[in-house]
Structure 1
């Protein structure tokens, strides 16, 4: 008895993790100073949300391995960018160090899953 096949990007564990952590970032960034609205606040929200958006696009591009992997590479880049913004948030004293570490660790798990899929995309590719 095997697992049911995934029917939507929203069923992917990596998508769910990315969505949940993006929402955590959104809530935490509400406390950033007003002067950061168009810089750090906007950047960290944008990059964290972009992981999810690119996963949705990758899911729909599964007919073409190169396009699928390219979108996953975009996810990977956005996740790493978000980690950088987290570091800025800590250094600027906008984020609690422990909370930021937890979020950073979640992105490490997201990145590990993405790299695993990128390195072996064939189980995800739609058969013609």
Structure 2
């Protein structure tokens, strides 16, 4: 899953899975009511995009401590995205089945992200 040496953030499995989820979410919210364009739709899109952005930004940081910090923020964005899906369900924009589907998808990405965080924590301490 994790290669030795330098690799682009685009090669990270977690970034790829988060990207797939983000793109799937973007397609789903197109069916939400127009009045939610600058409210719930914007929040869902922004939080789902934030997952990828945080992983990519952390990847570009020098220390593993910084990489972990940004991955932890990405995990927070996953939780925020799930909360927005619960809001969408409460507003009857998605069904129980859709909520469960996206809950599962978010959990899958979170598991991979947690594995990446464990990997980063297992590396030797950074030397300043």
With structure 2 as the length reference, what TM-score do the two structures score?
Answer: 0.85
Could you tell me whether the CA contact under 8 Å between 2:14 and 2:116 is conserved in 1? Answer: no
- The corresponding residue for 1:73 is 72
Q: CA deviation at 1:120?
A: 3.9
Q: CA deviation at 1:124?
A: 6.5
Q: Describe the superposition over 1:67-86 as per-residue Cα deviations: whole angstroms up to 9, x where unpaired.
A: 11110111000000000001
- The corresponding residue for 2:60 is 60
- The corresponding residue for 2:40 is 40
Corresponding position: 1:101 with 2:110: no
Q: Describe the superposition over 1:57-103 as per-residue Cα deviations: whole angstroms up to 9, x where unpaired.
A: 11111x31221111011100000000000111112111232233222
The separation in 2 between residues aligned to 1:47 and 1:84, in whole angstroms, is: 10
Q: How does 1:12-27 map to 2 (within 5 A)?
A: 12-27=12-27
The separation in 1 between residues aligned to 2:72 and 2:122, in whole angstroms, is: 17
> Tell me, which stretches of 5 or more residues in structure 1 are unaligned?
none
Residues paired across the two proteins, number: 125
With structure 1 as the length reference, what TM-score do the two structures score?
Answer: 0.85
Q: RMSD over aligned Cα, in angstroms?
A: 2.3
> Tell me, which stretches of 5 or more residues in structure 2 are unaligned?
none
